[in-house]
Amino acid sequence: MATTVELTRFKVAPDKTEALLAARPAMLADFRADREGFLGARLVALPDGEWLDVVEWRSAQDFAASRAKGANLPGIAAFFAAIGELVSAEEGVLAGFDL
């Protein structure tokens, strides 16, 4: 199976940035506990209040199952609540190797 990568770009209002970052550890803990195939995630701060969340999944099926669950746990809901606007969401397959 190829590793599936979820790329979600979103905007956060300046007054919500602290809430977003405070909610991140609980969101990741909820994903580890509740999302089959969750491998890890990196949150990237971009200019102008935009963020990129790069999440790795064992398979496309695991990613789809996670999407279906939505914000079903408090840590996930708190993180999502801090997001003001979804800019883009993409899915791909890891094609290279880390150096």
Q: Please name each of the domains of the chain with its CATH number.
A: 4-91 (3.30.70.100)
User: Given a cut of 70, is residue 81 above it in pLDDT?
Assistant: yes
pTM of the model as a whole = 0.92
User: Given a cut of 80, is residue 1 above it in pLDDT?
Assistant: no
pLDDT given at position 98: 61
pLDDT, tens only, 2-60: 899 999 999 999 999 999 999 999 999 999 999 999 999 999 999 999 999 999 999 99
Tally of helices (H runs) and strands (E runs) in the chain: 3, 4
User: Given a cut of 60, is residue 99 above it in pLDDT?
Assistant: no
Yes or no: say if 26 and 78 are a contact pair by the CB < 8 Å rule.
yes
